[in-house]
Structure 1
Amino acid sequence: TDGDGLMEFVDGWGRPLRFYRWPTRVIRPEAGGIDRPFASVFFDGLPPASAAGFNEQDPLSVDPDDPQSRIEHENKRSGDLLISLFNTTVVYNTGEYATAGTYWLPLIVSAGEDGMLGLYEPHDETNCGVLAQRIPGTTDAVYDNITNHNQRAGGR
Protein backbone atom coordinates (compact mmCIF):
# COMPACT_ATOMS: atom_id res chain seq x y z
CA THR A 1 0.00 0.00 0.00
CA ASP A 2 2.95 2.37 0.38
CA GLY A 3 4.38 1.64 -3.06
CA ASP A 4 7.65 0.00 -1.95
CA GLY A 5 6.74 -3.32 -3.61
CA LEU A 6 6.81 -5.30 -0.35
CA MET A 7 3.85 -7.29 0.95
CA GLU A 8 2.06 -5.74 3.92
CA PHE A 9 -0.59 -6.78 6.41
CA VAL A 10 -3.63 -4.57 5.92
CA ASP A 11 -6.88 -3.99 7.79
CA GLY A 12 -10.43 -4.29 6.43
CA TRP A 13 -10.12 -0.85 4.81
CA GLY A 14 -6.95 -1.84 2.92
CA ARG A 15 -4.66 0.31 5.10
CA PRO A 16 -1.44 -1.05 6.64
CA LEU A 17 -1.45 -2.33 10.21
CA ARG A 18 1.13 -0.78 12.55
CA PHE A 19 3.28 -2.79 14.96
CA TYR A 20 4.68 -1.22 18.13
CA ARG A 21 7.18 -3.37 20.04
CA TRP A 22 7.28 -1.22 23.20
CA PRO A 23 4.16 1.00 23.21
CA THR A 24 5.05 2.57 26.55
CA ARG A 25 3.90 6.06 25.52
CA VAL A 26 0.23 5.01 25.42
CA ILE A 27 0.69 4.28 29.15
CA ARG A 28 2.96 7.27 29.96
CA PRO A 29 2.54 10.00 27.32
CA GLU A 30 5.62 12.20 27.07
CA ALA A 31 7.24 9.85 29.65
CA GLY A 32 5.19 11.57 32.38
CA GLY A 33 2.49 10.18 34.64
CA ILE A 34 0.31 7.18 33.85
CA ASP A 35 -2.72 7.97 31.66
CA ARG A 36 -4.95 4.97 32.37
CA PRO A 37 -8.01 6.25 30.39
CA PHE A 38 -5.92 6.77 27.24
CA ALA A 39 -4.15 3.41 27.65
CA SER A 40 -7.49 1.62 28.04
CA VAL A 41 -8.41 2.67 24.49
CA PHE A 42 -5.65 0.34 23.27
CA PHE A 43 -5.68 -2.33 25.98
CA ASP A 44 -8.89 -3.88 27.33
CA GLY A 45 -8.58 -5.35 30.81
CA LEU A 46 -5.62 -3.39 32.12
CA PRO A 47 -4.66 -4.28 35.68
CA PRO A 48 -6.44 -1.99 38.16
CA ALA A 49 -4.60 0.81 39.91
CA SER A 50 -3.18 0.09 43.35
CA ALA A 51 -5.46 0.75 46.30
CA ALA A 52 -4.62 3.94 48.16
CA GLY A 53 -2.83 3.54 51.48
CA PHE A 54 -1.35 0.10 50.83
CA ASN A 55 2.06 1.25 49.57
CA GLU A 56 1.76 -0.90 46.45
CA GLN A 57 3.30 -0.01 43.13
CA ASP A 58 0.88 0.71 40.29
CA PRO A 59 0.97 -2.35 37.98
CA LEU A 60 1.35 0.01 35.00
CA SER A 61 4.67 1.18 36.53
CA VAL A 62 6.19 -2.29 36.21
CA ASP A 63 8.27 -3.14 33.13
CA PRO A 64 7.61 -6.81 32.23
CA ASP A 65 11.25 -7.16 31.13
CA ASP A 66 12.58 -5.64 34.37
CA PRO A 67 9.90 -5.99 37.07
CA GLN A 68 12.30 -5.07 39.90
CA SER A 69 13.63 -1.97 37.99
CA ARG A 70 17.14 -3.34 38.45
CA ILE A 71 18.53 -1.79 35.27
CA GLU A 72 17.45 1.69 36.30
CA HIS A 73 18.59 1.15 39.91
CA GLU A 74 22.01 -0.18 38.92
CA ASN A 75 22.49 2.57 36.38
CA LYS A 76 21.81 5.25 39.02
CA ARG A 77 24.01 3.44 41.57
CA SER A 78 26.93 3.27 39.11
CA GLY A 79 26.70 6.91 38.06
CA ASP A 80 25.19 6.12 34.65
CA LEU A 81 27.91 3.62 33.70
CA LEU A 82 25.56 0.71 32.97
CA ILE A 83 23.65 2.34 30.12
CA SER A 84 26.90 3.44 28.44
CA LEU A 85 27.94 -0.22 28.15
CA PHE A 86 24.99 -0.89 25.83
CA ASN A 87 24.53 2.49 24.19
CA THR A 88 27.35 4.33 22.45
CA THR A 89 25.65 7.72 22.93
CA VAL A 90 26.16 7.35 26.72
CA VAL A 91 22.60 8.51 27.41
CA TYR A 92 19.39 6.57 27.86
CA ASN A 93 17.70 7.50 24.60
CA THR A 94 13.99 6.67 24.73
CA GLY A 95 13.88 6.58 20.94
CA GLU A 96 16.07 3.48 21.16
CA TYR A 97 14.65 1.91 24.34
CA ALA A 98 11.27 1.62 26.03
CA THR A 99 10.24 4.11 28.70
CA ALA A 100 11.78 2.73 31.90
CA GLY A 101 9.45 1.49 34.62
CA THR A 102 6.41 1.20 32.35
CA TYR A 103 4.10 -1.72 31.56
CA TRP A 104 3.86 -2.73 27.91
CA LEU A 105 2.64 -5.44 25.57
CA PRO A 106 3.40 -5.61 21.82
CA LEU A 107 0.65 -3.69 20.02
CA ILE A 108 -0.79 -4.12 16.52
CA VAL A 109 -3.04 -1.23 15.47
CA SER A 110 -5.52 -0.55 12.67
CA ALA A 111 -6.32 3.14 12.21
CA GLY A 112 -9.98 2.20 11.92
CA GLU A 113 -12.60 3.49 9.54
CA ASP A 114 -11.45 7.13 9.56
CA GLY A 115 -7.86 6.12 8.66
CA MET A 116 -6.44 8.49 11.29
CA LEU A 117 -4.06 6.74 13.68
CA GLY A 118 -3.54 9.51 16.25
CA LEU A 119 -0.07 8.10 17.03
CA TYR A 120 3.27 8.74 15.42
CA GLU A 121 4.27 6.04 12.96
CA PRO A 122 6.41 3.20 14.41
CA HIS A 123 9.39 4.20 12.25
CA ASP A 124 9.36 7.85 13.50
CA GLU A 125 12.21 7.74 16.02
CA THR A 126 12.43 11.53 16.30
CA ASN A 127 8.96 11.77 17.89
CA CYS A 128 9.17 8.49 19.85
CA GLY A 129 6.84 6.86 17.33
CA VAL A 130 8.53 3.55 18.06
CA LEU A 131 6.97 3.85 21.55
CA ALA A 132 3.47 4.75 20.20
CA GLN A 133 3.66 8.43 21.21
CA ARG A 134 0.37 10.24 20.55
CA ILE A 135 0.32 13.14 18.12
CA PRO A 136 -0.68 16.33 19.98
CA GLY A 137 -4.21 17.50 19.17
CA THR A 138 -5.31 14.20 17.61
CA THR A 139 -6.54 12.29 20.66
CA ASP A 140 -10.03 11.89 19.16
CA ALA A 141 -8.51 9.99 16.21
CA VAL A 142 -7.64 6.97 18.38
CA TYR A 143 -11.16 6.10 19.52
CA ASP A 144 -12.02 4.07 16.41
CA ASN A 145 -8.64 2.31 16.32
CA ILE A 146 -8.70 -1.47 16.56
CA THR A 147 -5.85 -3.32 18.27
CA ASN A 148 -4.85 -6.87 19.10
CA HIS A 149 -5.81 -6.05 22.71
CA ASN A 150 -9.24 -4.45 22.17
CA GLN A 151 -10.99 -6.48 19.46
CA ARG A 152 -14.71 -5.94 19.25
CA ALA A 153 -17.17 -8.52 17.95
CA GLY A 154 -20.05 -7.62 15.68
CA GLY A 155 -20.73 -4.47 13.69
CA ARG A 156 -19.80 -0.90 14.42
Structure 2
Amino acid sequence: MRSKPQHSARRSAFTLIEVLVVIGIMALLVTLLVMAIGPSLESAKVSATRVTIAQINEVIQQRIDAINRLDLTSEATRFANASGLSQANASLILRKNLYRQALPQSVKDLGGLDLDTSTASDNSPIYALWQAETPSGPPTSSTTNHLAETECSEVLYYALTKGSRIRVTNNGKSFNIPTLPVESINPRHIKDTDNDQLPEFVDAWERPLRFYRWPTRLVRTGGAPSNTPADIAATDRQQASVLISSLPSFAGTTLVYSSTLSNTLNQDPDDPTGVATLSLYGGSTFTVQIAGGSPTSVTALPFTEANYHTPNTYWTPLLASGGPDEAFGLGDPTSSSGGQNLCTVTVPAEVNDNITNRQQ
Protein backbone atom coordinates (compact mmCIF):
# COMPACT_ATOMS: atom_id res chain seq x y z
CA MET A 1 0.00 0.00 0.00
CA ARG A 2 1.39 3.36 -1.04
CA SER A 3 1.88 5.80 1.75
CA LYS A 4 0.76 9.41 1.36
CA PRO A 5 3.55 11.99 0.99
CA GLN A 6 4.18 13.98 4.09
CA HIS A 7 3.76 17.78 3.74
CA SER A 8 5.33 20.14 6.24
CA ALA A 9 2.99 22.56 7.97
CA ARG A 10 2.80 26.03 6.37
CA ARG A 11 4.12 28.93 8.45
CA SER A 12 1.36 31.31 9.27
CA ALA A 13 3.51 34.27 10.52
CA PHE A 14 6.97 35.56 11.37
CA THR A 15 8.33 34.86 14.76
CA LEU A 16 8.77 37.68 17.22
CA ILE A 17 12.54 37.42 16.92
CA GLU A 18 12.39 37.76 13.14
CA VAL A 19 10.17 40.83 13.40
CA LEU A 20 12.53 42.43 15.90
CA VAL A 21 15.51 41.72 13.65
CA VAL A 22 13.77 43.38 10.68
CA ILE A 23 12.83 46.40 12.80
CA GLY A 24 16.40 46.65 14.02
CA ILE A 25 17.77 46.54 10.48
CA MET A 26 15.30 49.20 9.33
CA ALA A 27 16.19 51.44 12.28
CA LEU A 28 19.87 51.04 11.48
CA LEU A 29 19.27 51.95 7.83
CA VAL A 30 17.26 55.03 8.84
CA THR A 31 20.03 56.08 11.24
CA LEU A 32 22.68 55.66 8.55
CA LEU A 33 20.52 57.62 6.10
CA VAL A 34 20.05 60.48 8.55
CA MET A 35 23.77 60.51 9.29
CA ALA A 36 24.48 60.63 5.57
CA ILE A 37 22.08 63.40 4.58
CA GLY A 38 21.99 65.34 7.87
CA PRO A 39 25.10 67.44 7.18
CA SER A 40 23.83 68.14 3.66
CA LEU A 41 20.50 69.40 4.98
CA GLU A 42 22.25 71.61 7.54
CA SER A 43 24.60 72.93 4.89
CA ALA A 44 21.62 73.76 2.67
CA LYS A 45 20.03 75.71 5.53
CA VAL A 46 23.23 77.67 6.09
CA SER A 47 23.45 78.49 2.37
CA ALA A 48 19.80 79.55 2.18
CA THR A 49 20.23 81.79 5.22
CA ARG A 50 23.32 83.40 3.71
CA VAL A 51 21.39 84.21 0.54
CA THR A 52 18.58 85.92 2.45
CA ILE A 53 21.00 87.85 4.66
CA ALA A 54 22.90 89.01 1.56
CA GLN A 55 19.66 90.22 -0.08
CA ILE A 56 18.64 92.19 3.01
CA ASN A 57 22.15 93.54 3.40
CA GLU A 58 22.07 94.93 -0.13
CA VAL A 59 19.29 97.35 0.85
CA ILE A 60 20.97 98.11 4.19
CA GLN A 61 24.10 99.12 2.29
CA GLN A 62 22.07 101.14 -0.22
CA ARG A 63 20.55 103.12 2.65
CA ILE A 64 23.97 103.72 4.21
CA ASP A 65 25.33 104.93 0.88
CA ALA A 66 22.30 107.16 0.32
CA ILE A 67 22.71 108.83 3.73
CA ASN A 68 26.47 109.22 3.25
CA ARG A 69 25.86 111.04 -0.04
CA LEU A 70 23.48 113.58 1.50
CA ASP A 71 24.58 117.18 1.61
CA LEU A 72 23.33 118.19 5.04
CA THR A 73 24.82 121.69 5.03
CA SER A 74 21.58 123.66 4.85
CA GLU A 75 19.71 121.23 7.09
CA ALA A 76 22.54 121.33 9.64
CA THR A 77 22.40 125.14 9.65
CA ARG A 78 18.67 125.05 10.37
CA PHE A 79 19.16 122.40 13.05
CA ALA A 80 22.04 124.31 14.64
CA ASN A 81 19.85 127.40 14.92
CA ALA A 82 17.03 125.34 16.43
CA SER A 83 19.24 123.53 18.94
CA GLY A 84 22.14 125.82 19.78
CA LEU A 85 24.67 123.24 18.58
CA SER A 86 27.64 124.11 16.41
CA GLN A 87 27.34 123.41 12.69
CA ALA A 88 29.67 120.38 12.92
CA ASN A 89 27.88 118.92 15.93
CA ALA A 90 24.46 119.53 14.38
CA SER A 91 25.58 117.73 11.22
CA LEU A 92 26.78 114.69 13.20
CA ILE A 93 23.58 114.45 15.27
CA LEU A 94 21.48 114.75 12.11
CA ARG A 95 23.37 111.98 10.34
CA LYS A 96 23.23 109.67 13.36
CA ASN A 97 19.47 110.12 13.65
CA LEU A 98 18.92 109.57 9.94
CA TYR A 99 20.81 106.28 10.29
CA ARG A 100 18.70 105.37 13.30
CA GLN A 101 15.46 105.97 11.39
CA ALA A 102 16.58 104.23 8.21
CA LEU A 103 17.96 101.20 10.07
CA PRO A 104 15.99 100.72 13.31
CA GLN A 105 16.58 97.79 15.64
CA SER A 106 13.88 98.65 18.18
CA VAL A 107 10.61 100.60 18.29
CA LYS A 108 12.18 103.47 20.25
CA ASP A 109 14.57 104.07 17.34
CA LEU A 110 11.56 105.53 15.51
CA GLY A 111 10.97 107.99 18.37
CA GLY A 112 13.43 110.63 17.20
CA LEU A 113 15.90 112.75 19.15
CA ASP A 114 14.36 111.83 22.51
CA LEU A 115 13.76 108.15 21.63
CA ASP A 116 10.17 108.71 22.71
CA THR A 117 7.33 107.99 20.27
CA SER A 118 4.84 109.90 22.46
CA THR A 119 6.38 113.23 21.34
CA ALA A 120 5.36 113.22 17.70
CA SER A 121 7.28 116.31 16.55
CA ASP A 122 10.48 114.34 15.98
CA ASN A 123 9.10 110.88 15.27
CA SER A 124 10.25 109.06 12.17
CA PRO A 125 7.77 109.11 9.26
CA ILE A 126 8.12 105.33 9.36
CA TYR A 127 6.56 105.23 12.82
CA ALA A 128 3.36 106.90 11.60
CA LEU A 129 3.01 104.24 8.91
CA TRP A 130 3.71 101.44 11.35
CA GLN A 131 1.32 102.84 13.94
CA ALA A 132 -1.48 102.73 11.39
CA GLU A 133 -0.80 99.08 10.58
CA THR A 134 -3.40 97.89 13.11
CA PRO A 135 -6.35 99.80 14.63
CA SER A 136 -4.74 99.84 18.08
CA GLY A 137 -1.27 100.59 16.79
CA PRO A 138 1.68 98.22 16.48
CA PRO A 139 1.99 95.42 19.02
CA THR A 140 4.13 96.01 22.08
CA SER A 141 5.51 93.82 24.84
CA SER A 142 2.11 93.98 26.56
CA THR A 143 0.15 92.93 23.47
CA THR A 144 -1.29 89.43 23.35
CA ASN A 145 0.95 87.03 21.36
CA HIS A 146 3.83 89.50 20.95
CA LEU A 147 7.24 88.18 21.99
CA ALA A 148 9.99 90.64 22.89
CA GLU A 149 12.57 88.63 20.95
CA THR A 150 10.78 89.40 17.67
CA GLU A 151 10.74 93.21 18.02
CA CYS A 152 14.09 93.82 16.35
CA SER A 153 13.30 91.73 13.28
CA GLU A 154 9.74 93.09 13.02
CA VAL A 155 10.71 96.75 13.05
CA LEU A 156 13.60 96.19 10.64
CA TYR A 157 11.31 94.30 8.25
CA TYR A 158 8.74 97.08 8.29
CA ALA A 159 11.32 99.85 7.88
CA LEU A 160 13.13 98.18 4.97
CA THR A 161 10.02 97.11 3.06
CA LYS A 162 7.68 100.08 3.64
CA GLY A 163 9.68 103.01 4.98
CA SER A 164 10.74 105.13 2.02
CA ARG A 165 11.32 108.52 3.73
CA ILE A 166 13.27 109.77 6.72
CA ARG A 167 13.57 113.16 8.44
CA VAL A 168 14.79 114.29 11.85
CA THR A 169 11.98 116.71 12.76
CA ASN A 170 8.58 117.18 11.17
CA ASN A 171 9.48 120.69 9.99
CA GLY A 172 12.79 119.48 8.59
CA LYS A 173 13.75 118.21 5.17
CA SER A 174 12.64 114.72 4.12
CA PHE A 175 14.98 112.35 2.32
CA ASN A 176 14.03 109.39 0.13
CA ILE A 177 15.68 106.03 0.80
CA PRO A 178 15.63 102.69 -1.08
CA THR A 179 13.18 99.96 -0.05
CA LEU A 180 13.40 96.17 -0.16
CA PRO A 181 11.03 94.35 -2.56
CA VAL A 182 9.36 91.68 -0.43
CA GLU A 183 9.01 89.36 -3.42
CA SER A 184 12.80 89.15 -3.72
CA ILE A 185 13.07 87.33 -0.37
CA ASN A 186 12.53 83.59 0.06
CA PRO A 187 8.95 83.40 1.45
CA ARG A 188 10.13 80.78 3.93
CA HIS A 189 12.30 83.48 5.49
CA ILE A 190 9.40 85.83 6.22
CA LYS A 191 7.20 84.65 9.06
CA ASP A 192 5.08 85.95 11.91
CA THR A 193 6.53 83.58 14.50
CA ASP A 194 4.62 85.07 17.44
CA ASN A 195 1.33 85.63 15.59
CA ASP A 196 1.13 89.34 16.44
CA GLN A 197 0.27 90.46 12.88
CA LEU A 198 3.79 91.73 12.17
CA PRO A 199 6.10 89.60 9.99
CA GLU A 200 9.77 89.07 10.76
CA PHE A 201 12.88 88.17 8.81
CA VAL A 202 13.80 84.63 9.90
CA ASP A 203 16.59 82.19 9.07
CA ALA A 204 16.26 78.63 7.77
CA TRP A 205 15.67 77.44 11.35
CA GLU A 206 12.70 79.86 11.58
CA ARG A 207 14.39 82.01 14.21
CA PRO A 208 14.10 85.83 13.87
CA LEU A 209 17.24 87.52 12.58
CA ARG A 210 18.94 90.12 14.75
CA PHE A 211 20.23 93.52 13.66
CA TYR A 212 22.85 95.73 15.31
CA ARG A 213 23.18 99.15 13.67
CA TRP A 214 26.22 100.27 15.69
CA PRO A 215 27.93 97.09 17.04
CA THR A 216 30.69 99.00 18.82
CA ARG A 217 30.71 96.78 21.92
CA LEU A 218 31.63 93.84 19.71
CA VAL A 219 34.93 95.61 19.01
CA ARG A 220 35.46 97.66 22.18
CA THR A 221 34.08 95.25 24.77
CA GLY A 222 34.91 97.57 27.68
CA GLY A 223 32.73 100.35 26.30
CA ALA A 224 33.40 103.89 27.47
CA PRO A 225 33.47 104.04 31.28
CA SER A 226 33.60 107.63 32.57
CA ASN A 227 33.12 108.73 28.94
CA THR A 228 36.61 107.52 27.96
CA PRO A 229 36.74 104.59 25.51
CA ALA A 230 38.42 101.47 26.88
CA ASP A 231 41.42 99.93 25.14
CA ILE A 232 40.82 97.13 22.64
CA ALA A 233 42.41 93.75 23.36
CA ALA A 234 43.68 91.60 20.50
CA THR A 235 41.53 88.75 21.82
CA ASP A 236 38.44 90.96 21.54
CA ARG A 237 39.29 91.82 17.95
CA GLN A 238 39.80 88.13 17.20
CA GLN A 239 36.38 87.32 18.66
CA ALA A 240 34.75 90.13 16.68
CA SER A 241 36.39 88.96 13.44
CA VAL A 242 34.27 85.79 13.61
CA LEU A 243 31.28 88.00 12.77
CA ILE A 244 33.04 90.80 10.86
CA SER A 245 35.77 89.32 8.67
CA SER A 246 37.28 92.56 7.38
CA LEU A 247 38.06 94.18 10.74
CA PRO A 248 41.16 96.41 10.76
CA SER A 249 44.11 94.84 12.58
CA PHE A 250 46.77 96.15 14.94
CA ALA A 251 50.13 94.98 16.27
CA GLY A 252 50.60 93.76 19.81
CA THR A 253 48.13 92.53 22.40
CA THR A 254 46.32 95.83 23.03
CA LEU A 255 45.20 98.82 20.98
CA VAL A 256 45.42 101.72 23.40
CA TYR A 257 42.74 104.36 22.98
CA SER A 258 44.19 107.66 21.87
CA SER A 259 42.68 110.96 20.87
CA THR A 260 44.96 110.85 17.81
CA LEU A 261 42.73 108.06 16.46
CA SER A 262 45.51 106.64 14.30
CA ASN A 263 43.91 103.18 13.93
CA THR A 264 40.60 102.67 12.13
CA LEU A 265 39.27 100.72 15.13
CA ASN A 266 39.59 103.98 17.10
CA GLN A 267 37.53 105.90 14.55
CA ASP A 268 33.82 106.52 14.12
CA PRO A 269 33.15 106.22 10.35
CA ASP A 270 30.86 109.27 10.64
CA ASP A 271 33.56 111.34 12.35
CA PRO A 272 37.05 109.94 11.58
CA THR A 273 38.86 112.91 13.12
CA GLY A 274 36.79 112.68 16.28
CA VAL A 275 36.47 116.45 16.55
CA ALA A 276 32.67 116.58 16.74
CA THR A 277 32.48 113.44 18.87
CA LEU A 278 34.95 114.73 21.46
CA SER A 279 33.06 118.01 21.85
CA LEU A 280 29.63 116.35 21.98
CA TYR A 281 30.16 113.14 23.89
CA GLY A 282 28.97 112.90 27.45
CA GLY A 283 27.15 116.23 27.35
CA SER A 284 23.70 116.99 28.65
CA THR A 285 20.27 117.09 27.06
CA PHE A 286 19.50 120.00 24.76
CA THR A 287 16.28 121.57 23.56
CA VAL A 288 15.38 121.57 19.88
CA GLN A 289 12.78 124.10 18.75
CA ILE A 290 10.33 122.71 16.19
CA ALA A 291 8.28 125.47 14.60
CA GLY A 292 4.75 124.32 13.89
CA GLY A 293 5.34 121.04 15.68
CA SER A 294 3.25 119.49 18.40
CA PRO A 295 4.96 119.88 20.79
CA THR A 296 6.92 122.90 19.55
CA SER A 297 10.12 121.66 21.17
CA VAL A 298 11.66 118.38 22.25
CA THR A 299 14.38 117.57 24.74
CA ALA A 300 17.02 115.73 22.76
CA LEU A 301 19.05 113.08 24.52
CA PRO A 302 22.80 113.66 24.83
CA PHE A 303 25.35 111.85 22.71
CA THR A 304 26.32 109.05 25.08
CA GLU A 305 26.96 105.34 24.71
CA ALA A 306 23.52 104.50 26.09
CA ASN A 307 21.73 106.78 23.61
CA TYR A 308 23.93 106.26 20.56
CA HIS A 309 27.08 104.12 20.66
CA THR A 310 30.60 103.86 22.03
CA PRO A 311 32.49 106.98 20.91
CA ASN A 312 35.41 106.95 18.48
CA THR A 313 34.95 103.27 17.73
CA TYR A 314 34.70 101.40 14.43
CA TRP A 315 31.27 100.10 13.48
CA THR A 316 29.50 98.56 10.52
CA PRO A 317 25.84 97.42 10.59
CA LEU A 318 25.56 93.73 11.50
CA LEU A 319 22.69 91.43 10.49
CA ALA A 320 22.94 88.01 12.13
CA SER A 321 21.43 84.54 12.36
CA GLY A 322 22.14 82.32 15.35
CA GLY A 323 23.09 79.53 12.93
CA PRO A 324 22.55 75.78 13.40
CA ASP A 325 22.62 75.94 17.21
CA GLU A 326 19.89 78.65 17.07
CA ALA A 327 21.75 80.62 19.76
CA PHE A 328 23.36 84.02 19.21
CA GLY A 329 25.55 84.49 22.26
CA LEU A 330 25.00 88.24 21.76
CA GLY A 331 23.18 90.96 23.69
CA ASP A 332 19.52 91.82 23.15
CA PRO A 333 19.37 94.37 20.28
CA THR A 334 16.39 96.12 21.92
CA SER A 335 18.05 96.66 25.32
CA SER A 336 20.62 99.35 26.10
CA SER A 337 21.41 97.77 29.47
CA GLY A 338 25.11 96.96 29.63
CA GLY A 339 25.54 97.88 25.99
CA GLN A 340 23.53 94.88 24.79
CA ASN A 341 22.12 96.76 21.81
CA LEU A 342 25.70 97.51 20.75
CA CYS A 343 26.33 93.77 20.28
CA THR A 344 28.03 92.65 23.46
CA VAL A 345 29.22 89.04 23.40
CA THR A 346 27.42 87.21 26.21
CA VAL A 347 28.29 83.56 25.45
CA PRO A 348 31.44 83.31 23.28
CA ALA A 349 30.94 79.62 22.46
CA GLU A 350 27.56 80.35 20.85
CA VAL A 351 28.97 82.95 18.48
CA ASN A 352 31.14 80.63 16.40
CA ASP A 353 28.40 79.27 14.11
CA ASN A 354 26.55 82.57 13.69
CA ILE A 355 25.90 83.71 10.12
CA THR A 356 26.25 87.43 9.32
CA ASN A 357 26.31 89.94 6.50
CA ARG A 358 29.96 90.78 7.25
CA GLN A 359 31.53 87.35 6.81
CA GLN A 360 33.58 86.63 3.71
Q: Tell me the TM-score normalized by structure 1.
A: 0.78
Ranges in structure 1 where 5+ consecutive residues have no aligned partner: 152-156
Give the % identical residues: 40
User: Which runs of 4 or more aligned residues in structure 1 lie more than 4 Å from their structure 2 counterparts after TM superposition?
Assistant: 86-92
Residues 1:125 and 2:336 aligned together = yes
- Alignment counterpart, residue 33 of structure 1, candidates 231, 250, 254: 231
The answer (yes or no) to whether the contact 1:49–1:59 under 8 Å persists in 2 is: no
Q: Which secondary structure does the structure 2 equivalent of 1:109 belong to? A: strand
Residues 1:145 and 2:354 aligned together = yes
Is the radius of gyration larger for structure 1 or structure 2?
A: 2
**TM superposition shift of 1:50:** 6.1
Residues 1:5 and 2:197 aligned together = yes
Equivalent residues in 2 for 1:1-156 (5 A)?
A: 1-31=193-223, 32-34=230-232, 35-49=236-250, 57-75=262-280, 83-85=284-286, 92-135=303-346, 138-150=347-359
Q: In 2, Cα distance between the equivalents of 1:56 and 1:46? A: 16
Q: In 2, Cα distance between the equivalents of 1:130 and 1:22? A: 8
Instruction: For residues 12-44 of structure 1, give each alpha carbon's deviation from its aligned partner in whole angstroms, at most 9, with x where no partner exists.
Output: 111110011100011011313222101101111
Q: How many residues align?
A: 143
Instruction: For residues 92-149 of structure 1, give each alpha carbon's deviation from its aligned partner in whole angstroms, at most 9, with x where no partner exists.
Output: 53221110010000100001111111111110122322211122xx111100001000
Structure number with higher helix proportion = 2
**TM superposition shift of 1:75:** 3.7
Amino acid at match of 2:205: W
Ranges in structure 2 where 5+ consecutive residues have no aligned partner: 1-192, 224-229, 288-297
CA 1:128/1:50 → structure 2, altered by over 3 Å: closer, same or farther?
same
Measured on the aligned residues, the alpha-carbon RMSD in Å equals 2.7
Which stretch of the first structure deviates more once superposed, 7-16 or 39-48? 39-48
CA 1:30/1:148 → structure 2, altered by over 3 Å: closer, same or farther?
same
Partner in structure 1 of residue 25 of structure 2: none
